[in-house]
Amino acid sequence: MTGQQQRIVVLGAGYAGLSAARRLARKARDTTITVVDTRAEFVERVRLHQAAAGQSIGRWDLRELLERKGVEFVRARVTALDPDAKRVWLDGEWSMGYDTLVYALGSAADRTSVPGVAEYAHSVATPEDLRALPAGPVIVVGAGSTGIELAAELAESQRDSRVTLLGSEEPGGWLSTKAAEHIRTTLTGLGVEIRSGVKVGEVLPDGVRLVDGTVLSAAAVVWTAGFTVPDLACRAGLTVDEQGRIRTDATLRSISHPDVYAAGDAALIDGPGDRPLRMACATALPAGSYVATAIVARAGGAEPKPMTFRYQLQCISLGRHDAVIQFLDADDSPANRVVRGRAGAWVKERIVRIAGRAAGLR
Ligand SMILES: Cc1cc2nc3c(=O)[nH]c(=O)nc-3n(C[C@H](O)[C@H](O)[C@H](O)COP(=O)(O)OP(=O)(O)OC[C@H]3O[C@@H](n4cnc5c(N)ncnc54)[C@H](O)[C@@H]3O)c2cc1C
């Protein structure tokens, strides 16, 4: 960068924000980099299902982590954006100016779409959601990756509690037949009861009511059936999709506000096959890193090449000793190749560790 110091503010110290800050710290010149997050610690979100099953997971002090890299850390809640004045409001009390903003505020559990979720359901979407589950039968709602991983982890660690996995689709139904069959066999082997093709209409204090009126009782219900993103971008007038994710161009810049870049769950990024990239750590890390590259390129007067990205794998853990590693074709469809069992668990663990390294944790 030339002339006076430019200020880059990164909102959110999750996988996307940390990977952006890490690369900016290495590559950007004549710049102050500030990361804002409401949390004091980074907690590996991709291990929250393990934490819910009573395992201890790593925590990193964000100030220490970032200051070591020459990045300023501000612990505060972002309460508003003013993109015209190029300022962010923190804790509703004070504001900070920026030249370039990286919006990486991630996602949280959707607690509003279905009645009773906010009042009665547990969640593993964020560290703040984790609460000890009472003893007794557990219903996990949502048979996506998070629901599958959680059901397996709970069943493996609490053999005496019945775990039921409810979903509108077959667990892993979007993967190859081989992978989906392995998921079903392993979950069943762990004692998980799978009920597919069902939709929950309401969460009750002691169970759920399905849309067909059937009531299923449980000591605890864990909701993994949907995620929402913060409404800050929408409230500030940035162009967003119906969920509130910032619409980005091929260089991850907001299509309405070119001083704002977005990465991670809170960004809508075009992916293979005209589908947006998934809300995933596997997206957040390369997107955060790419945003830093694009910012540095533009600061140096060059136009960055568009982000190119494809998923190679989809990894779903099935307890601590098993997992499914689904290889993917270039169009993101499941390939024939699947790694299962202990080898799969080993690969998944390696990938989670590599993700931590990419975020600068190790
Ligand atoms: C149990 C579980 C398992 C998962 N497993 C996998 C997996 O195996 N593979 C995979 O690819 N993905 C997985 N995911 C998804 C993955 O965790 C997310 O896609 C990823 O964390 C998104 O990264 P992010 O940086 O966009 O957001 P986040 O990691 O959510 O980080 C956002 C940050 O923004 C901060 N923030 C939010 N709002 C504010 C505010 N108003 N003010 C200040 N700070 C704020 C938060 O405190 C947080 O630190 C899993 C998710 C869960 C819940």
Band of pLDDT at residue 160, cut at 50, 70 and 90: confident
106 alpha carbon to ligand 1 midpoint, in Å? 5
215 alpha carbon to ligand 1 midpoint, in Å? 32
pLDDT for residue 272 is more than 90: no
pLDDT of residue 161: 84
List phi, psi (to 5°) of 279: -75, 100
Ligand 1, atom 35, lies closest to the CA of 12
Could you report how far apart the first and last alpha carbons of the chain are, in Å? 29
Q: Return the residue matching tokens 């979950």.
A: 187
Ligand 1, atom 50, lies closest to the CA of 46
36 lines ligand 1 (CB under 6 A): yes
Pairs from 328-336 (Cβ < 8 Å, separation ≥ 24) = 330/272, 331/272, 331/273, 332/271, 332/272, 332/273, 332/275, 333/273, 334/174, 334/175, 334/176, 334/179, 335/176, 336/176, 336/178
pLDDT of residue 1: 43
pLDDT of residue 218: 97
Distance, in Å, from the CA atom of 131 to the CA atom of 244, rounded to the nearest integer, reads: 27
351 lines ligand 1 (CB under 6 A): no
Secondary structure class of 264 (helix, strand, coil) = helix
Where are the alpha helices (H) located in 158-280, listed in sequence order?
177-189, 232-235
44 alpha carbon to ligand 1 midpoint, in Å? 8
Ligand 1, atom 19, lies closest to the CA of 280
Estimate the crossing angle of helix 341-358 against helix 281-299, to 10 degrees: 30
pLDDT of residue 361: 83
Average pLDDT in the 109-138 region?
A: 95
265 alpha carbon to ligand 1 midpoint, in Å? 7
CA atoms within 13 A on the CB side of 311: 26
107 alpha carbon to ligand 1 midpoint, in Å? 6
358 alpha carbon to ligand 1 midpoint, in Å? 14
Q: Which of 47, 61, 96, 105 to mutate to test the pocket of ligand 1 (most atoms within 8 A of CB)?
A: 105
327 alpha carbon to ligand 1 midpoint, in Å? 23
Distance, in Å, from the CA atom of 329 to the CA atom of 312, rounded to the nearest integer, reads: 7
Q: Return the residue matching tokens 């929950």.
A: 200
- The closest-lying atom of ligand 1 relative to the alpha carbon of residue 281 is 11
47 lines ligand 1 (CB under 6 A): no
CA pseudo-torsion sign 199, 204, 209, 215 = positive
Domains of the chain as residue ranges with CATH: 6-107+229-299 (3.50.50.60), 109-226+311-358 (3.50.50.100)
pLDDT for residue 119 is more than 50: yes
Distance, in Å, from the CA atom of 220 to the CA atom of 303, rounded to the nearest integer, reads: 52
Average pLDDT in the 172-183 region?
A: 97
Note the pLDDT tens digit of each residue in 28-58: 999 999 999 999 999 999 999 999 999 999 8
